[in-house]
Chains A and B, each alone.
Chain A
Amino acid sequence: MESLDDYQIPYGLMAEFDTPAGVMHAAEKVRDEGFTRWDVHTPFPVHGMDDAMGLKNSPVGWFTFVCGLCGFFGGMLMIWYMNAYDYGIPVGGKPNFSPFASFPVAYEMTILSGAFGSLLGMLWLNRLPRLHHPLLKNIRFADVTHDKFFVVIEADDPKYDEEETRKLLKKSGSKHIELVNE
């Protein structure tokens, strides 16, 4: 043990595939083996992959919904506070606050905060931004945004065993399997 490089911690096994069908069938096998800390990396969203991985429906909608509601009522509250409570502006004998005249602004506020909720909720659920990732150091993995498909099983998965997992990935049709270090 001469250099620090000898103390590398394995991140996981990375298996490369050439086609979306290939990676999808591999994902089905990995799912059926009961792995939990693993992922499929693709250049574009592959249809049916959520089922093949056994993923549930994404909860982003809750962020949108809650933020949208806050936007709507926040908008109404703002207008009521500004035009009826803090400094009433009587115009033409009309009520100082009316939900109808306030609707356009509250509606835009709903959409504005709903949109922020969707984007930030998505980033939060994905734990992004993350500016370092062990896979991003691997030059072969750079093709994941080009035309290659990867299955990655992490070393801290309870079912992970380097030999067995490698065999499983080989059996599911990968032609290139590589150990990625942290």
Chain B
Amino acid sequence: MAHDVVPSSVKIAPPPVELERPALVENNHSIGWISDTVAGVIENKTPGWWKLAISLSLFVSLGLPLGLVYLISTGVGVWGLNHPVAWGWAIVNFVWWIGIGHAGTLISAILFLLRQKWRTSINRASEAMTIFAVMCAGIFPGVHVGRIWFDWWLFPLPNANSIWPQFRSPLLWDVFAVSTYFTVSVLFWYMGLIPDLATMRDRFRKVAGKVTEPAARLRNKIAQFLYGAFSLGWTGSNRHWSNYEKAYLLLAGLSTPLVLSVHSIVSFDFAVSQLPGWHTTIFPPYFVAGAVFGGFAMVMTLMIPLVSLYRLNEIVTIRHLAVMSKVILVTGSIVGYAYGMEFFIAYYGGNPYELYAFKNRAFGDMNWSYWWMISCNVLAPQFFWFKWCRTTPWFIWVICGFVNIGMWMERFVIVVTSLHNDFMPGNWGYYSPTWVDMITYFGTFGFFMTLFLLFCRFLPLIAISEVKGVTAQADPHHPLGGAKH
């Protein structure tokens, strides 16, 4: 075993100064400080901004039941869908929300496999974002079928004529991909939460004796019970950690091909059809890169205000933001390359319909969406070549806002402009959304923000045990971890 073979004369020296990496948690705080700070978000008084934000979110989320009830009671005609554009905002929103989810899984799974330790500060919140985004996404195809009382036909059940679903349709693949994605994301998120829920359980237990006011005592009891029940009796045992870490690694290993497959299968919804503009083999990688790109933008859109409002900027540092900006720059450039390559193949493939579809995107009567997409997705991230832009939170936040818009426009370009002018000019049309489309979409924002705010209030929004694990104080071979050389 390693500790037996190392002779005592060997000096384990720290790396030279120029190679030393900056600490992930700034200012050399103790590991106890990490749980105090993160749990403080839950234990402290509800901040005023939170109450304001959740009222606003709840108000906006009213659009969702309003839009959906009107839709279901009247029919899909209340949306802007008509011949020839039968897939409008609903599908755009579905792909957009699902794509946002992908950054959470990328951070929790792929960056874990790549041993990117900085992920620990942001993985919990981004996984929560993933789950809530997939919930928002799931609403749209569910109601888009028109007669939602037949939604159960999506599941592998025989219908009234004993006919099963048809498994050669990419739309059915999508059902399996998205439901698996949601379930596995929840499992992964919950597993990561177990040790932190135990932390919360123990913190409420430690102060239980000091609480005297009856209402506060009741709150303390409820908190102990709920955190206790959901932490499943976690004692931080190393025999448990050993299995836990293996299971975490395996879940990360399973989520990695999962996240790549989910957006690939979403792209099959389009690529497997024969419509010019949809029928391309570049779609799977292009969709996945776009999803990561848009998702990281949403992570930063949420994290930048959150970190400054809760003063967590020693855990989620400028360095974290700078690294995420670089991811946005890289994936944005991949997306830009894909836009260029699509055009090249449209020209080089020699198919006049395909070439027309692309000319129509850039110069046709919906060209505004195309140029919004190019400016937001390809041009805006180029600012991140400059260090000032990568390290200035408000500036990153603005750019990320543009990326969020750009990614929505990208899906609009793909879905709507491909449909509105296809093979025969007699079949051409225009598409405009209605107010029902709009309030439903904005309603999902409210729904998403409500869930996210509740998550921040009641669950540890930073993975406490994981952040502790990447500090020097946690390393038994580091002087700060108690090692004596």
Contact = CB atoms under 8 A, between A and B. Distances in A.
A13 to B, nearest CB: 15
Interface centre among B232, B233, B234, B236 (most CB of A within 10 A): B236
A104 B176 contact: yes
B166 A45 contact: no
Which of A48, A52, A126 gathers the greatest number of chain B CB atoms within 10 Å? A126
Main secondary structure of the interface of B (DSSP, over half): helix
Secondary structure type dominating chain A contacts:
helix
B465 interface: yes
Contact of A128 (B167, B187, B233): B233
Given A44-B474, A45-B238, A89 B163 contact: yes
B168 A101 contact: yes
Given A49-B238, A104-B176, A147 B202 contact: no
B238 A87 contact: no
What is the size category of the interface that chain B forms with chain A? 35 or more
A68 B258 CA distance: 13
B241 interface: yes
Contacts of A94: 168
B483 interface: yes
Interface in A48-103: 48-53, 55, 57-58, 60-61, 64, 68, 78-79, 82-83, 86-87, 89, 91, 94, 98, 101-102
A147 B31 contact: yes
Interface stretch (B134-142, B244-252, B315-323, B450-458): B244-252
Interface residues of A, number: 75
Counting chain A CB atoms within 10 Å of each CB, which of B170, B177, B482 scores highest? B482
Contacts of A131: 228-229, 232-233
Interface in A96-118: 98, 101-102, 104-105, 107-109, 111-112, 114-116, 118
A101 B3 CA distance: 53
A107 B261 contact: yes
Contacts of B473: 19-20
A169 B1 CA distance: 22
- A44, A86, A141 pick with most chain B CB within 10 angstroms: A44
Interface in A116-171: 116, 118-119, 121-123, 125-126, 128-133, 135-136, 139, 141-147
A18 B481 CA distance: 9
Contacts of B239: 39, 53, 55, 126
Interface of B: 1-3, 30-32, 35, 156, 158, 162-168, 170, 172-173, 176-177, 180, 183-184, 187-188, 190-191, 195, 198-199, 201-203, 205-206, 228-229, 232-247, 250-251, 254-255, 257-258, 261, 265, 268, 465-466, 468-469, 473-477, 481-484
